[in-house]
């Protein structure tokens, strides 16, 4: 929850935001009262509101849910049931996809390549059972290894081609290091190899994930020059990558390769992905939980919907309390934005020299807390993870609530004894 800056109308807006934060804190505190902490909790009303916002932002495109950002089968089922516009899953492991197939899901696209024989065996089992699992490739070498496994398992693997969507500018690689496939020639070469091995391989799709558009905040407070640079690079990059994706899709179709889908996007780029006429579906998932890294995008704002509660266990100094656990640091480039973000009571801060620790996390409390908000030993403080699904690796169960009422407790992947990386 962000608090508007003061100004002519600012005083009333700030007061309203403070009241909203305070009321929400008291509600969360009541919901976890008497429960063992730490715990993970999810606001179903907010998740559903975020889901509807994602559908609106995606416009014409169906959304393939990114499982890496959710990691809970019950939440996947609930969101898929909200609208037929949620269609299929984007998985992060072939073994995960095969397990989800056994859990009743279908139309499973694995976002990252694998040549692991155990992973491919799991995928073959799912294919033989009639499930649609599609593996990702970006080289002939990968395809050759997969074809060998296909012959061993008597399977024909469905494949999608991973098209690199990064932009290279002088002195800067704007994007992530994913696929080496960057142009029509490279795509056609791999597609031709797949066609030549049609007894074991079938090209059914293409994915072009524009990570530099979907994942970079461009309205970070106090970073005006950086924000301007990011927005400028995004505009330049979009023109180039749309043209690249359209050219590759057109060339593949002209060469006789029938594509069932062209996948693109992420929560942060749904509108821009929908503007590319070659794309047939978007991929997104993090927007359901709205983690802290999504707080500072200029064109959208979802509601923070997933939190974790830590108990206060020490008072090492005036204005500072220490919680049990909390060192849930997000992946990616190391920096303060990858640390958990203190959420409620509003105004808390991590200590710069300590951060969030595995067994304890000290917090600077805001000055002037009223008695009902000054935590006693054992009281909960609430935090948000920087990313979405990674928090689920720390907890076996998620407490689900609506309004003032707990409506269920469901297992995460970890709670179902599943770990894929």
Pairing of strands 201-208, 341-344: unpaired
Q: How many CA atoms lie within 13 A of 177 on its CB side?
A: 2
User: Is residue 34 domain-shared with residue 85, that is, in the same domain?
Assistant: no
User: Which residues 6+ apart lie within 8 Å of 226 measured at CB?
Assistant: 220
User: Which residues 6+ apart lie within 8 Å of 1 measured at CB?
Assistant: 17, 20, 21, 24, 304, 346
Calculated CA dihedral for residues 398, 399, 402, 404, nearest 10 degrees:
-160
Compute the chain's Rg from CA coordinates.
Answer: 23
The answer to whether residue 283 sits within a structural domain is yes
Prediction pTM value: 0.90
Whole-angstrom Cα distance, residue 173 to residue 354? 32
Residue 394 structural domain: 21-43+300-416
User: Is residue 320 domain-shared with residue 272, that is, in the same domain?
Assistant: no
pLDDT at 159: 98
Q: Is 182 left (phi over 0), alpha (psi -120 to 50) or beta?
A: alpha
414 three-state secondary structure: helix
User: Is residue 196 domain-shared with residue 272, that is, in the same domain?
Assistant: yes
Q: What is the pLDDT along the chain (421 residues), one digit of tens a residue?
A: 444 444 554 555 455 566 788 999 999 999 999 999 999 999 999 999 999 999 999 999 999 999 999 999 999 999 999 999 999 999 999 999 999 999 999 999 999 999 999 999 999 999 999 999 999 999 999 999 999 999 999 999 999 999 998 777 667 665 678 889 989 999 999 999 999 999 999 999 999 887 655 566 667 777 778 777 667 676 676 677 888 889 999 999 999 999 999 999 888 889 888 889 999 999 999 999 999 988 877 777 899 999 999 999 999 998 999 999 999 999 988 888 899 999 999 999 999 999 999 999 999 999 877 666 678 999 999 999 999 999 999 999 999 999 999 999 999 999 999 998 8
Structure tokens at 302: 């979802």
Whole-angstrom Cα distance, residue 113 to residue 144? 13
Q: How many CA atoms lie within 13 A of 218 on its CB side?
A: 18
pLDDT at 167: 77
Q: What is the DSSP letter of 375?
A: P
Answer whether 383's CB lies under 8 Å from 330's CB: no
User: Is residue 364 domain-shared with residue 254, that is, in the same domain?
Assistant: no
User: Is residue 93 domain-shared with residue 233, that is, in the same domain?
Assistant: yes
User: Is residue 64 domain-shared with residue 32, that is, in the same domain?
Assistant: no
Answer whether 206's CB lies under 8 Å from 249's CB: yes
pLDDT at 174: 59
End-to-end distance of the chain based on CA atoms, in angstroms? 32
pLDDT at 349: 96
Cα 225 to chain centroid, rounded:
27
Q: Which CATH number do you get for residue 309?
A: 2.40.37.20
Last residue of a domain, one of 290, 317, 339: 290
pLDDT at 214: 58
230 three-state secondary structure: helix
pLDDT at 11: 55
Nearest to 160, CA basis, from 187, 137, 193: 137
User: Is residue 264 domain-shared with residue 380, that is, in the same domain?
Assistant: no
pLDDT at 3: 47
Last residue of a domain, one of 290, 320, 350: 290
User: Which residues 6+ apart lie within 8 Å of 273 measured at CB?
Assistant: 58, 61, 210, 264, 265, 266, 279, 282
Q: What is the DSSP letter of 335?
A: S
pLDDT at 5: 45
Q: Is 382 left (phi over 0), alpha (psi -120 to 50) or beta?
A: beta
User: Is residue 168 domain-shared with residue 68, that is, in the same domain?
Assistant: yes
Q: Which CATH number do you get for residue 65?
A: 3.20.20.10
CA separation, residue 123 to residues 129, 194, 243, 266, 333 (Å): 10, 18, 33, 25, 32
């Amino acid at each position: 929850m962000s608090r508007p800056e003061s100004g002519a109308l600012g005083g009333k807006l700030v007061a309203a935001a403070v009241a909203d934060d305070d009321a929400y804190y008291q509600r969360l505190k009541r919901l976890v009262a008497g429960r063992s902490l730490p715990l993970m909790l999810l606001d179903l009303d907010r998740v559903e509101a975020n889901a509807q916002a994602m559908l609106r932002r995606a416009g014409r495109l169906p959304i393939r849910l990114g499982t890496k950002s959710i990691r809970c089968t019950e939440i996947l089922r609930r969101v898929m049931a909200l609208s037929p516009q949620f269609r299929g899953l984007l998985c992060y492991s072939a073994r995960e996809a095969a397990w989800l197939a056994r859990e009743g899901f279908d139309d499973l696209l694995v976002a990252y390549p694998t040549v692991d024989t155990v992973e491919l065996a799991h995928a073959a089992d799912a294919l033989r059972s009639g499930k649609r699992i599609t593996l990702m490739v970006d080289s002939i070498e990968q395809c050759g290894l997969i074809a060998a496994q296909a012959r061993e398992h008597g399977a024909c693997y469905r494949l999608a081609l991973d098209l690199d969507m990064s932009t290279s500018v002088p002195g800067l690689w704007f994007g992530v290091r994913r696929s080496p496939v960057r142009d029509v020639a490279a795509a056609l070469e791999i597609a031709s190899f797949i066609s030549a091995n049609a007894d074991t391989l079938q090209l059914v799709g293409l994915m072009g994930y524009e990570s530099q558009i979907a994942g970079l905040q461009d309205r970070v407070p106090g970073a005006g020059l950086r924000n301007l640079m990011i927005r400028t690079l995004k505009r330049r990059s979009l023109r180039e990558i749309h043209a690249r994706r359209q050219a590759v899709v057109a060339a593949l179709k002209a060469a006789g390769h029938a594509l069932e889908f062209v996948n693109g996007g992420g929560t942060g780029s749904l509108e821009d992905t929908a503007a590319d006429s070659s794309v047939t579906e978007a991929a997104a998932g993090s927007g359901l939980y709205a983690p802290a890294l999504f707080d500072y995008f200029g064109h959208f704002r979802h509601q923070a919907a997933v939190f974790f509660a830590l108990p206060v266990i020490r008072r090492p100094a005036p204005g500072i309390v220490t919680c049990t656990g909390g060192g849930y640091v997000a992946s990616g480039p190391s920096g303060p934005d990858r640390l958990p973000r203190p959420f409620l009571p509003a105004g808390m801060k991590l200590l710069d020299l300590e951060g969030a620790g595995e067994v304890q996390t000290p917090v600077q409390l805001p000055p002037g807390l009223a008695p009902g908000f000054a935590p006693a030993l054992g009281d909960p403080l609430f935090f948000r993870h920087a990313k979405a699904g990674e928090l689920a690796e720390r907890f076996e169960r998620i407490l689900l609530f609506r309004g003032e009422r707990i409506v269920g407790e469901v297992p995460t992947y970890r709670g179902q004894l599943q770990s894929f990386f």
